[in-house]
Structure 1
Amino acid sequence: MSMVLAISAMTGYLYLTGHEAPPPPEGMPMWGPVPVVPFLAVTGAVLLISLLFAWYLSRPLRHLSWAMDRFAEGRLDTRVGPLMSGRRDEIADLAHDFDRMAARIEQLAQANRALMHDISHELRSPLTRLQAAIGLLQQDPAQAVAMIERIMLESERLDMLIEELLTLHRLDAGPNGVPQQRIDVIELLQAIADDADFEARASQRTLCLDASGSFVIVAHGELVYRAFENVIRNALKFSPPGSRIEVDARIAEGGRMLVTTVQDRGPGVPAGMLQAIFEPFTRVEGSESVSGTGLGLAIARRAMLLHGGTVEATLREGGGLVVTLALPVRN
């Protein structure tokens, strides 16, 4: 292309100045004023460079198309980054974005499969005990009272588990359809603490709430209630008789954040499980005898995240666990 432009410019110059073009070398084929051989050589070089450039651009796009087809077929482990051959352009950035998306979707799919496995296991246990109780009742009607009590207990456990699963599903699905209202979280904490302390005293435990003032937000009241209640009742369940559960609520960041800590003197958890305890059906070794669905802390974390907050656990000095819930005011 540059040669064509140069020839055109030279021809125009000669035409405007009235000079005649110098005669071509003897024996050189011409196409008008243009020498054929150099013209063909330059044209071929331009075509070759264009083809190489088109191949360079289209090859990673073909890799991306291949990866998307495999991903659509359900092969969630497909990654395209290693096929970019060290590229550092926008297409390579797109490939890395695809890999991050694929990794996240694969992680979520694996978590859902694990959750379904756990749900089936958790449902099977009370159903098995129900079937055993019905079988014993049929074999020996004299045990009717004891077996009916067992059936009622397992029915209540199933009802609680299904209710927790529905709550977890609502949280995962998002806030659509869940009403919001103005609530005073300090007042809500006081109501939860009063109920929990009443139950705690029956087992020689005490619960103390240190909170003052008010913290009014617009939120999904039922979900916020469940978040704080689950954390407080979890501390109550794992605290030994004669111990004290301390709940402290402080308004921070100029009234824009409520930070609540729940401290117990229970057995605590291994340091490596401080994050895992907020996953569904996670149980710490040695806690099998403690009743519960294994969903309470998972619901608490999802409810806090839904409202822009956080919840985390740390080990308490001297034994026990400290769970900190941070709930912001959102416009």
Structure 2
Amino acid sequence: MTAPEQPSPPADPPSRWGTARGAALLALALLLLLASALALTLSLSQLAENRAQVVRTNTILRGLAELRAIARAAETGQRGFVLTGERRYIEPYERATDRIWTHVSELEGLIKHPAAAGLLRELQPLLHAKLDELERTVALRERDFDTALSAVRTDVGQELMERIDATLDALEETERNLLAVRAAQEERSAVSATRLAGLMVVLALVSAMLGSARILQQRADTHLFESDRRFRDLAENIQEVFWMSDPRRTRLLYANPAFERVWGRRREAAYRDPAAWLEAILPEDRPRPGDGHGDEIGDEYRGTYRIRRPDGSVRWIRDRGWPVRDAQGGVRHLVGVAEDVTAIREAQEALVRANEELESRVEQRTAELTEVNLELDAFAYTVSHDLRAPLRAIHGYTEALVEDHDGALSEEGRHYLRRIGASALRMEELIRDILSYSRLSRAEVGLRPLSLDALVRQALSGAAAAIEETGARIAVEHRLPDVRAHPPILAQVLDNLLSNAMKFVAPGTRPEIRVSAQRWDGRVRLWVEDNGIGIAPEDRQRIFLPFQRLHGPETYPGTGIGLGIVRKSLERMGGSCGVEGRPGGGSRFWVELQAA
């Protein structure tokens, strides 16, 4: 079988100086190629290490999120069991407690950074303490509801959960910082590897072109054989497919042995049949007219396509080609490098599948948590309605006894009846607040522009009796900016804040309240300032949680849900709330909403 026809030699034989110069350039290109290959090997090694660190950090972040969700699930199951006594709430609690230490053990094996490892060690005794507290409360509930409820109200479990959340937040922040650093390192390594790979391709092409040029120039020279051997040493030992074609006759002039390994076909067959190269390409990936394969040749060809080998397997190929022009600018032939990138494409597809699977798992777990929360809301709503009927009966019978048998009762008996009536009223208020809080989670909240001035006037009108009873002085700074909110929900927020401002004052103190607002960056912050008893800095977050009381009901009556309703209301309207200390005593409560 004859070798493929080679391009014709130049008209004049090369000079000795030209031959030496060509050999020197080829040797220099080979040295640069070797140096680039070494640098690329080191760069790819660094890239693989950085990528492994990024993957591990992402795994740690997912593990921390799952650990937080498991701890929350354990607490939710425990509370559901304490409130209802139903065993179905124990199952998610027991599953969560069984899984916690498995996740902790996995995180211990993944976390290597000293700061993150230290935070994980700090987290473990907190998890032990939290699980012990949950176990004790469950055991108490199996014996007695009131004892278990009293244990829950000590806030020990809430404080442990807050410390666990704070430690997990610190761990996640540490890992996110590490992820940012490692991702930047990975990106730099990838850029460096890409540049080195491009340099290698260019150097390989330059070397091949120099070798080809020497072959063409030395055909009539006695050193033709040596030049041809050098060219083949270069082209036939690289892992990529080096090819040369004649674009005018669509004929493959040369392909190195890597062609047989990648295409799975003999080179001689490709030399004989000009269409063999293209026929291996899948029909949908084949080049079309104008793609740079016909008579009009651009400066560079780049393409990615799939080929089907004789054994039926499909491989992804990344191909690059350049025209070699003569002195007049015409295209003499095309040279290029084709690379099998199947492993890279499969890795990319695997990464996409992994991300889709992760998103699916996150959506599934979010849906599960949402379902649990909806069940708890429905339970609270049902219990609240079922409790109101007997409370009304208790209150009604108490009033009837006082009205019909007041003379027959002793002072101690009347005192007991008054306490029973007050307790029934307080329980009625608690149920009403629970219903309000539960409705906030289910209600459709449509926002529209509202006048804060009008809503504040409405709230003051509704609180007229309490203002008269307490003698409160309320100053409103007009004109208040308009906001986007839900009218009934914002009205309840204002009513709760004004009610608290009038209630929580020292005995004998006349309430002094100031209402003002400020606007910036498309937001409006409304302030309600009072001269009350104030709130310690460590309690300023806790008071916005349901059932969190800083004082007993005998000192300041209430249910402990009012500020929880405020926080939940603001969250549903896309806002936020908080409290600050006031110079000279008192508090400055604020709520923030979108400006209209």
**SS across alignment from 1:235:** helix
Query: Contact 1:197–1:207 (CA<8 Å) still a contact in 2?
Result: no
Aligned mate of 1:184, from 408, 433, 451? 451
Cross-structure match for 2:430? 161
Deviation at 1:242, TM superposition (A): 2.1
Query: C-alpha deviations, 1:272-321, integer Å up to 9, x for none?
Result: 32122111111125666311111111111222222222211122233332
Shift of 1:223: 1.4
The answer to whether the Cα contact below 8 Å between 2:451 and 2:482 also exists between their aligned partners in 1 is yes
Contact 1:175–1:306 (8 Å) recurs in 2: no
Percent identity between the two aligned chains: 21
1:155-206 CA deviation, whole Å, 9 max, x = no partner? 4333322222222122111326x8x776432122134235547534534x53
**Alignment CA distance shift 1:320-1:114 (3 Å):** farther
Cα distance in 1, alignment partners of residues 544 and 378 from structure 2: 13
2:563 corresponds to 1:322:
no
Report Cα offsets for 1:180-235 as digits up to 9, x if no partner: 776432122134235547534534x5332222125455643221111011011112
- The equivalent position to 2:562 in structure 1, one of 270, 290, 296, is 296
Q: Tell whether 2:271 aligns with 1:13.
A: yes
Number of corresponding residues: 264
Instruction: Measure the CA separation in 1 of the matches of 2:517 and 2:559.
Output: 30
Counterpart among 190, 193, 205 of residue 460 in structure 2? 193
- Give the RMSD, CA atoms, in angstroms: 5.0
Q: Which one has more relative contact order, counting CA pairs under 8 Å at least 6 apart?
A: 1
- Measure the CA separation in 2 of the matches of 1:269 and 1:115: 33
Select which of 551, 576, 579 maps to 1:310: 576
Deviation at 1:148, TM superposition (A): 5.0
In the alignment, the residues of structure 2 paired with residue 263 and residue 147 of structure 1 have an alpha-carbon distance, to the nearest angstrom, of 38
Greater radius of gyration (CA): 2
After TM superposition, the structure 1 = structure 2 runs for residues 204-223 of structure 1, keeping only pairs within 5 Å, are 206-213=472-479, 215-216=481-482, 219-223=485-489
Whole-angstrom CA distance in 2 between matches of 1:145 and 1:285: 27
Residues 137-156 of structure 1 correspond to what in structure 2 (within 5 A)?
Answer: 142-143=408-409, 146=415, 149-156=418-425
The alpha-carbon distance between structure 1 residues 156 and 245, as it changes in their structure 2 partners (threshold 3 A), is same
Contact 1:207/1:246, CA 8 A, preserved across alignment = yes
How far apart, CA to CA, are the structure 2 residues paired with 1:195 and 1:321? 23
Amino acid at match of 2:476: D
Q: Report whether the alignment pairs 1:269 with 2:535.
A: yes
- Using a 3 Å threshold, how does the CA distance of structure 1 residues 275 and 106 change in structure 2: closer, same or farther? farther
Of 261, 265, 273, the match for 1:3 = 261
Structure 2 vs 1, CA of residues 113 and 284 (structure 1 numbering), >3 Å: closer, same or farther? farther
Find the aligned partners of 2:464 and 2:260 in 1 and give their Cα distance: 88
Distance 1:320 1:8, change over 3 A: same
Q: Is the 8 A contact 2:511 2:531 kept in 1?
A: yes
